[in-house]
Homo-oligomer: A and B are copies of this chain.
């Protein structure tokens, strides 16, 4: 796989798209059967929505394949080029990771998205989808494997599919053969996978993101950012769960402006005693504005470590930016945390010391996303510290090797003083 040129890999992606178009009826029929079974077994509306394949989702997949084909080649990039000594050239070149295992839940379109990412980056992939989407997944895998066979030059088994729960346990034991597991789904799925394997796992179990209102914050400017962080898509891992506030932001009234906006957006605020007394009047109906629809209640034990994933938010007062940072490092999940302030020194301290994949200043936590970062395609968001951290694009599916080209160079020549190290870096690296 690592030797297949980028034009072939891109051509395969477009062929998968063509094949998906021409075999649409077959795919939709398989999906209809999955939907029928699911309806009979009484699934809820949100699962039905994720399970459903329709024209709009298929057309989104075709767009995605075309966009992915247009992205630069993640392989063969030279990230270091150094002459060690005359005639002895060291280079560091990106290459595929190897074999990926991806475990995902209801959404069948993940088959196409994941297989295309794997193929673009020269990796083989074993897919395990949700049971309720088994016919849809099988039809989509057949489309991909059919396209691989038609394109030629690729091993068809570069994309494989397993479907039972027992298969997963088997896969997770194959640490000698599988290089990376990517669970895409609920927090529970990610935790279970991490607990069950020695294979490196790329993902994040929790997304307990914070927004901190610093002393100098402007309430009117802050309110839309906090509301966006909390409510733009509350079920996402990058939605904010806890609002930390400096006493200065209470004194200035900024917290009240932000609180009113959150309540208006329907958020229930779980406030500590200090914030509760500042916020409770916000929850009162006012003549001059719309009735607030959220409420303010006293926070309970455990609230600061809760990923609400819904219109609830903790609100706590911290005495300083240093304490805010300490709080976030203790209660957060090292995902994405934001400071809202006009003071550069607070922002600099916050960003240097918060130990998270994303540290933001005056921007919504919801930006933590591969598409928004411009990675074109997203594998997932990692809260690991090793390998890839934060939103992971194609680059996270690669490793590198060192190539060394000599003219019969030996280490003994250097020991004997016949040759010397130069360590001269060539900086004109091939960049996308």
Contact = CB atoms under 8 A, between A and B. Distances in A.
Interface of A: 2-3, 82, 84, 88, 90, 97-98, 179-180, 198, 200, 221-222, 224-225, 227-228, 232-233, 347, 349, 351-353, 355-364, 366-368, 372-374, 385-387, 389-391, 399-412, 414-415, 421, 423, 427, 431
A375 to B, nearest CB: 9
A3 B350 CA distance: 11
Contact of A404 (B227, B349, B358, B387): B358
Given A88-B363, A357-B402, 9 more contacts: A98-B385, A179-B385, A180-B386, A232-B410, A347-B405, A358-B401, A367-B409, A373-B402, A374-B421
A353 B402 CA distance: 13
B386 A179 contact: yes
Contact of A84 (B98, B367, B389, B411): B367
Nearest to A376: B423
Given A356-B401, A361-B405, A84 B374 contact: yes
A209 to B, nearest CB: 12
A415 B176 CA distance: 44
A233 B88 CA distance: 20
A410 B221 CA distance: 11
Given A373-B402, A431-B427, A221 B408 contact: yes
A406 B373 CA distance: 13
16 contacts: A3-B349, A82-B374, A90-B373, A98-B385, A179-B385, A198-B198, A224-B410, A227-B410, A355-B401, A361-B404, A362-B408, A363-B406, A364-B409, A373-B402, A386-B399, A389-B402
Nearest to A79: B79
A408 B2 contact: no
A401 B179 contact: no
Given A403-B359, A427-B431, A373 B82 contact: yes
Contacts of A400: 389-390
A98 B228 CA distance: 31
Contacts of A227: 410
B3 A353 contact: yes
Contacts of A88: 363, 367
Given A386-B97, A399-B385, A401-B389, A407 B359 contact: no
Contacts of A363: 88, 404-406, 408-410
A194 B347 CA distance: 40
B412 A372 contact: no
A213 to B, nearest CB: 13
Contacts of A421: 372, 374
Contacts of A423: 374
Contacts of A386: 97, 179-180, 200, 386-387, 399
Contacts of A351: 403
A352 B3 CA distance: 6
Contacts of A362: 405-409
Contacts of A221: 408
Contacts of A410: 224-225, 227-228, 232, 363-364, 366
Contacts of A222: 408
Contacts of A98: 355, 385
